[in-house]
Amino acid sequence: MHRVSLPPIGTAKAWREAARGFLAAGVPPEDILWGDHAAAPDLFGGEAAPATKGRTAVPRSFVSMAETAVWHSDPERFARLYAFLWRVKDAPHLMSDRGDADLALLRGMEKNVRRCQHKMKAFVRFREIGDPNAPRRSFAAWFEPTHHTVEPTADFFVRRFSDMDWRILTPDVSAIFENGKLTFQEGHTKPDLPEDAGEQLWITYFQNIFNPARLMVKAMQSEMPKKYWKNMPEAAFIPQMIAEAPARARAMAEAAPTLPPVRMDRVQAQLSAFSSAWDGPMEELPAAIRACTRCPLHCHATQAVPGEGPRDADLMVVGEQPGDQEDLAGRPFVGPAGQMFDRIAGEAGLDREAAFVTNAVKHFKFTARGKRRIHQRPETPEIDQCRWWMNAEVAQVQPKLILAMGATAAQSLTGKGTGILKRRGTIEAGPEGIPVLITLHPSYLLRVPDPRVREEAEAQFRSDLAMAARMMVEAA
């Protein structure tokens, strides 16, 4: 049985050399008792590992993991690392096996050590202990790390504070940096460090950057665990700031400016551009729609197609846009989709002649393929521009219910054009608070290739139209 005691300083190098020697000599994990000097100085006599006779290739990822995990505070870390090393030398693929319990444990150790290093970089608080007028000022800090992270983290402080002398004292290992040279000593007891002249300035700054409106106590304590508070001067004020946070947040809200910022002014101006300001006589609205040039769609369409039907109708039916036949005839719902709507509406007991029928977009959008004009779905800017006329028609008709058929109509009337299959058959709020019944568009039914799916979709569409018919009867 091999008994190995590793020193508290230079632990990583000592373990690496010992493990390399045992691995080269073929010593299995069960024949080694590992221990660190601080944990059990009497049990382990410091037996040297066998001399290295050759090198065994292991994955670089293991070396990187081991150089971090070896600083964990678990006294079993050396044994666990060597046991996994013994396995991985013959099976390098184990380093990528997420289901391996031993690897998961070592990865957890590695993560904990890195987290402890991060906390050390964030929460070490130096106090000046020497003459402030000396060529090299001198500082000291007391820190209590969770793991043995002073040695692997010291280089960070060397790079950050290379122009001064400093010492980071801990119960485990202390780092001393004097005259540009870094050394390590075994642990210290907590010293009585003097007050720092700049400490009050730092506390004032800390209090002023605290935002009470964004306070999340659990998240704060996760990033700044309470175990570190006792050595951080600003932490003494945290309970008071937490207690005062609700009152300060209310005061901030009350002191907020009442006028909207410039960006909001621009947003409101843009929204108002899409809101209809049509105030002409009712009989002139169709002619105004036919003369529309608000978006580029008018450049290619034959004409704009206004709505038609009783101007005092209780029901308004809104589709997407004119199709090829509607564009040529100048009337809504005269093509194949309109004919399907008429048929199913008759089956559902809905009288089209009593409804005002129109489209969310008034011009036909298409792509020319030879002599054919292929329908294209309107885009959001086109729907927004045409909402000017949609709102004008709603304001004149003042229906009790609007039937929105398809995504474009839903987007124009409710602001949302997605999820029609899930939303169909539901009532949502529309312009001027008028209820909007969402349903499918007849053209969708014409495009469904599967007869069974088409039959089911027609049944759903018929059910929605029947609902609209019932609501009209109840409202009469």
Residue 261 is classified by DSSP as P
Query: Per-residue pLDDT tens for 257-287?
Result: 665 666 666 656 655 555 556 677 788 899 9
Cβ proximity of 150 and 170 under 8 Å? yes
- Pairing, β 435-439 against β 427-429: antiparallel
Q: Is the sign of the CA dihedral 447, 449, 451, 455 positive or negative?
A: negative
Q: Which of 71, 102, 73, 82 is nearest to 34 (CA)?
A: 82
* pLDDT at residue 39, as a whole number: 42
* pLDDT at residue 103, as a whole number: 95
Query: Per-residue pLDDT tens for 387-408?
Result: 989 999 999 999 999 999 999 9
- Report the amino acid identity of residue 425: G
More confidently predicted of 18 and 254: 18
Q: How confident is the model at residue 36 (pLDDT cuts 50, 70, 90)?
A: low
Q: What is the mean pLDDT of residues 145-156?
A: 95
Query: How many whole angstroms separate alpha carbon 291 and alpha carbon 395?
Result: 20
The rounded Cα 437 to chain-centroid distance in angstroms is: 33
* pLDDT at residue 273, as a whole number: 56
* pLDDT at residue 213, as a whole number: 76
Q: How confident is the model at residue 353 (pLDDT cuts 50, 70, 90)?
A: very high
* pLDDT at residue 259, as a whole number: 58
* pLDDT at residue 43, as a whole number: 32
Of the listed ranges 137-151, 177-191, 267-281, 446-460, the one predicted with least confidence: 267-281
Cβ proximity of 317 and 361 under 8 Å? no
Query: How many whole angstroms separate alpha carbon 81 and alpha carbon 100?
Result: 14
- DSSP secondary structure of 143-185: ---SSS-HHHHHHHHHHHTTTSEEEEE-SSEEEEEETTEEEEE
CA dist 108 → 42, 115, 141 (Å): 30, 11, 29
Q: Is the pLDDT of residue 224 over 90?
A: no
Q: Is the pLDDT of residue 471 over 50?
A: yes
CA dist 121 → 38, 141, 157, 241 (Å): 25, 12, 8, 24
The strand ranges marked E within 291-390 are 315-319, 356-359, 366-369, 372-375
* pLDDT at residue 227, as a whole number: 82
Q: How confident is the model at residue 41 (pLDDT cuts 50, 70, 90)?
A: very low
* pLDDT at residue 244, as a whole number: 85
Q: Is the pLDDT of residue 216 over 50?
A: yes
Of the listed ranges 75-79, 252-256, 366-370, the one predicted with least confidence: 252-256
* pLDDT at residue 210, as a whole number: 81
Q: Is the pLDDT of residue 254 over 60?
A: yes
* pLDDT at residue 44, as a whole number: 35
Q: What is the mean pLDDT of residues 221-249?
A: 82
Q: Burial, 351: exposed, middle or buried (Cβ in 10 Å; 0-12, 13-18, 19+)?
A: exposed
* pLDDT at residue 45, as a whole number: 39
Q: Is the sign of the CA dihedral 440, 442, 443, 444 positive or negative?
A: positive
Q: Which of 250, 178, 187 is nearest to 37 (CA)?
A: 187
* pLDDT at residue 42, as a whole number: 36
Query: How many whole angstroms separate alpha carbon 190 and alpha carbon 163?
Result: 25
Q: Is the pLDDT of residue 169 over 60?
A: yes
How big is the CA angle at 59 (ends 57 and 62), to the nearest 5 degrees? 120
CA dist 422 → 13, 99, 407, 445 (Å): 63, 40, 12, 16
Q: What is the mean pLDDT of residues 410-418?
A: 93
Q: What is the mean pLDDT of residues 227-241?
A: 81
Alpha helices in 70-149 (DSSP H): 77-88, 101-123
Q: Which of 384, 361, 363, 362 is nearest to 272 (CA)?
A: 384
SS3 category, 435: strand
The rounded Cα 174 to chain-centroid distance in angstroms is: 40
- Report the amino acid identity of residue 167: R
Of the listed ranges 29-43, 241-255, 421-435, the one predicted with least confidence: 29-43
Alpha helices in 161-297 (DSSP H): 199-209, 217-223, 238-254, 262-274, 285-290
* pLDDT at residue 302, as a whole number: 93
* pLDDT at residue 269, as a whole number: 61
More confidently predicted of 207 and 443: 443
Query: How many whole angstroms separate alpha carbon 1 and alpha carbon 22?
Result: 12
How big is the CA angle at 195 (ends 194 and 196), to the nearest 5 degrees? 115
Cβ proximity of 114 and 142 under 8 Å? no
**Mean model confidence pLDDT for the chain:** 87
- Report the amino acid identity of residue 350: L
* pLDDT at residue 347, as a whole number: 95
* pLDDT at residue 276, as a whole number: 56
* pLDDT at residue 32, as a whole number: 93
* pLDDT at residue 252, as a whole number: 80
* pLDDT at residue 272, as a whole number: 58
Cβ proximity of 165 and 140 under 8 Å? no
Query: How many whole angstroms separate alpha carbon 322 and alpha carbon 305?
Result: 7
* pLDDT at residue 362, as a whole number: 96
Query: How many whole angstroms separate alpha carbon 75 and alpha carbon 32?
Result: 14
pTM of the model: 0.50
Cβ proximity of 313 and 393 under 8 Å? no
Residue 197 is classified by DSSP as T
* pLDDT at residue 258, as a whole number: 65
Helices 60-69 and 11-25: angle between axes, nearest 10 degrees: 130
* pLDDT at residue 199, as a whole number: 74
Determine what percent of the chain is predicted with pLDDT higher than 90: 63
* pLDDT at residue 168, as a whole number: 95
